[in-house]
Amino acid sequence: MIDALTRYEFLQNAVAAVLLGAAACGIVGSLLFVNRLSSLAGGISHTVFGGLGFSLLARVHPLIGAASASLIASLALGWMSARKRERADAAVAAVWSVGMSLGLVFVSLAPGYKGDLMGYLFGSVLAITREDLALTALVSLASAVFLAFQYRRILAVSFDPEFSRARGISSGLLFGAFLCLTGLTVVVLMRSVGLVMVIALLSIPPATARMLTHRLPGMVVLSSVISALSGLAGIAVSWWLDLPAGASIVLCAGALFALVTASVRLLRSTAPVG
Amino acid sequence: MRSAVSLRGVSFGYQPGRYVLRDVDFEVETGGYTAVIGPNGGGKSTLLKIMLGLLEPWTGTVEVLGLPPARARHRIGYVPQASGAVLDFPVSALDVVMMGLPGGRSTKRARSAALSTMERLGIAGLSGMHAGSLSGGQRQRAFIARALVGSPEILLLDEPAASVDPEGQESFYELMAELNRTVTIVMVTHDVGAVSNHVKTIACLSTVMVSHGESLETEAVARAYGCSVDLVSHGTPHRVLGKHEGRGGND
Ligand SMILES: Nc1ncnc2c1ncn2[C@@H]1O[C@H](COP(=O)(O)OP(=O)(O)O)[C@@H](O)[C@H]1O
Ligand SMILES: [Mg+2]
């Protein structure tokens, strides 16, 4: 594979996409996970399908359709759950199904060739372009800047909303910015693992990392590493066994999760009590 | 002396026509230490939220440090009722304390400010521990440190003794007395037995301000609690009154 890697640009791009996207994946995924909002990524990704359908119909670049749909979904979700964060659950369910249905309607209305859609639904990491890579790097950078500069505020509003209200921290702005980042991360990950499996890559690595650390920074770093490892392993597996890359990546993440769960259980049960 | 907290004729409710607070006057002077007792649902937490500017009263005026509450916010330390925090959240005790500082970045200055506050409360050794695995008493100190780290002039505590064992309560009240040398304290509790001997005034709130002064009017309070078993069996108000009067000579 190393040999192939030096020879084929598409393989290099695939590896670069996985590595560049790891930070966004780890940061956004961890923040979703600790706020019990992982399903939000699913809601956004299915709305992105609606945006893709629209771009087919209106004949604009699919990335533009995807990115605008993800931002609209993020802001709609933010608006619907602004009064009560606990309401996010119901808002997600609504946005999820409406977005998906819109996509199906647009696609059926659009004339001509629609074969490309499969790539967006199930991923096409081997068809990643330079544009995709640039967008991926940008989203990762934005996520890192957001976390570094808002770290304590993010912790405060997530850990104890009541207290942070009393401190005058504007959680609405923070939540809105985070939702937009989530939307863009979904678009970026759509290229590698596909819309259907985005939610897996945003929830499995943080869930794995959470078993290994009890602090958010550690969790972010670990889940970024885990998503990079799963990405690389998945690409290798799909290359050798000629399997779909997106599914292979998600299955590798799942395997890592199972491995860590089993090891942690084993260690706990053999550790001396007390 | 200037008032740290001053409420005049404050009425408030969550639903139209249903008063949670009715025509409440409440004054705490600078350097004061007031315990607010009252039955569950008596409006104590609501009173604190009005002092923080989180809720707007229907009628009446609220001043904290001579300002509208929302503008005095950064000079108030708040210890909310413990149930609000998400305990399995991946934060260390130090992270929790740093939440009390303005700004968003985890700077060296923020960390050292948080650490020195934790030292003052005797929990510096726990700084790396997962907040969710602290004991009730340790967690309470971390929450107090979070309230104190921004150097507030007023400390508002909502049921701070609820999750602490009796031994811990003793040292908790000593800590409060020590803090009171520099900070005005308003502490809310539904447990009359939990009121410490160090408090300077004690108020009883049950939608209306039943009484507020250096001692409790036992009968009025018993009426507010609907003849509470707690109150009668401990005879607490008398204890509070007695120790409080003897206190002046010791200080
Ligand atoms: N957010 C809210 N919405 C509606 N009613 C509330 C809310 N918070 C408190 N209440 C009601 O207001 C009353 C006073 O509550 P609270 O101030 O929490 O009392 P306390 O702290 O003295 O136990 C209770 O009857 C409670 O049910
Ligand atoms: Mg209360």
The count of structural domains within chain A is 1
Q: CB distance from B12 to chain A under 8 Å?
A: no
Confidence check: pLDDT of A228 > 50: yes
Contact B240, B201 (CB under 8 A): no
Give B70 to chain A, closest Cα distance, Å.
8
Q: Which amino acid is at A238?
A: S
pLDDT band (50, 70, 90) for residue B1:
low
- Residue A228: inside a domain: yes
Please compute the mean of the pLDDT values over residues A51-76 and round it to a whole number. Answer: 90
Confidence (pLDDT) at B230: 46
Which of A155, A165, A213 shows the shortest C-beta gap to B99? A155
Question: What residue in B sits closest to A30 (Cα-Cα)?
Answer: B90
Do the chains contact at A215 and B130, CB–CB below 8 Å? yes
Confidence (pLDDT) at A168: 86
- Residue A219: inside a domain: yes
Confidence check: pLDDT of A162 > 90: no
Relative orientation angle of helices A195-210 and A9-34, to the nearest 10 degrees: 60
Mutation test residue for ligand 1: of B20, B24, B81, B158, the one with most atoms within 8 Å of CB:
B20
Confidence (pLDDT) at B193: 67
Quote the ipTM score. 0.81
- Measured distance CA(A111)–CA(A51) in Å, rounded: 16
Do the chains contact at B104 and A34, CB–CB below 8 Å? no
Confidence check: pLDDT of A157 > 50: yes
- Residue A245: inside a domain: yes
Confidence check: pLDDT of A262 > 80: yes
What average pLDDT does chain B have? 83
pLDDT more than 90, % of chain A: 57
Token duo for residue B178: 């020590």
- pLDDT, tens only, B161-218: 777 777 777 888 888 899 999 999 999 987 776 676 788 888 889 888 887 777 776 6
> Lowest-pLDDT range, B44-48, B58-62, B187-191?
B187-191
Find the B41 Cα to ligand 1 centroid distance in Å.
6
- pLDDT, tens only, B211-233: 777 777 666 666 666 644 344 33
- pLDDT, tens only, A82-115: 666 667 778 888 889 999 999 999 989 988 777 6
Please list every residue in chain B whose beta carbon sits closer than 8 Å to the beta carbon of residue A165.
54
Question: What residue in B sits closest to A206 (Cα-Cα)?
Answer: B90
Confidence (pLDDT) at B219: 67
- Residue B42 in contact with ligand 1 by CB distance below 6 A: yes
- Residue A73: inside a domain: yes
- Residue B46 in contact with ligand 1 by CB distance below 6 A: yes
- Which candidate, A154, A29, A212, places its Cα nearest to that of B98? A154
- Residue B32: inside a domain: yes
Confidence (pLDDT) at A221: 97
Q: Which residues, other chains included, contact B166 with Cβ-Cβ below 8 Å and sequence gap of 6+?
A: none
- Measured distance CA(A272)–CA(A28) in Å, rounded: 36
Token duo for residue B199: 């408090």
- Residue A15: inside a domain: yes
Do the chains contact at A162 and B80, CB–CB below 8 Å? yes
- Residue B73: inside a domain: yes
Confidence (pLDDT) at A238: 92
Please compute the mean of the pLDDT values over residues A40-63 and round it to a whole number. Answer: 90
A 10 A CB-CB count for B246 gives 10
Q: Which residues, other chains included, contact A127 with Cβ-Cβ below 8 Å and sequence gap of 6+?
A: A10, A119
- Residue B40 in contact with ligand 1 by CB distance below 6 A: yes
Residues with CB under 5 A from ligand 2 (ion): B 45
> Lowest-pLDDT range, A56-70, A132-146, B36-50, B216-230?
B216-230
- Measured distance CA(A120)–CA(A193) in Å, rounded: 8
Do the chains contact at B80 and A151, CB–CB below 8 Å? no
Is B206 strand, coil or helix?
strand
A 10 A CB-CB count for B62 gives 24
Confidence (pLDDT) at B52: 94
- pLDDT, tens only, B69-118: 989 999 999 999 866 677 889 999 999 999 999 888 888 999 999 999 99
- Residue A237: inside a domain: yes
Q: In a 10 Å sphere around its CB, with 0-12 CB exposed, 13-18 middle and 19+ buried, how is residue A85 labelled?
A: middle
- What is the number of the ligand closest to the CA of B81? 2
- Residue B95: inside a domain: no
- What is the number of the ligand closest to the CA of B83? 2
The count of structural domains within chain B is 1
Confidence check: pLDDT of A235 > 70: yes
Confidence (pLDDT) at B243: 37
Rounded CA Rg of chain A = 19
Confidence (pLDDT) at A269: 83
Atom 6 of ligand 1, residue of closest alpha carbon: B14
Please compute the mean of the pLDDT values over residues A41-47 and round it to a whole number. Answer: 91
| Domain membership of residue B190 as a residue range | 3-81+152-242
Q: Which amino acid is at A154?
A: I
Rounded CA Rg of chain B = 18
Please compute the mean of the pLDDT values over residues B32-36 and round it to a whole number. Answer: 92
CB pairs under 8 A between A and B: 84
CATH code at A102? Answer: 1.10.3470.10
Confidence (pLDDT) at A196: 84
CATH code at B229? Answer: 3.40.50.300
B107 φ, ψ to 5°? -80, 165
- Residue A49: inside a domain: yes
- Residue B80 in contact with ligand 1 by CB distance below 6 A: no
**Cα angle A93, A98, A99; round to 5:** 100
Whole-prediction pTM: 0.85
Question: What residue in B sits closest to A211 (Cα-Cα)?
Answer: B90
- Residue A274: inside a domain: no
Find the B119 Cα to ligand 2 centroid distance in Å.
29
- Residue B56: inside a domain: yes
| Domain membership of residue A29 as a residue range | 2-268
Please list every residue in chain A whose beta carbon sits closer than 8 Å to the beta carbon of residue B106.
151-152
Which of B54, B92, B105 shows the shortest C-beta gap to A166? B54
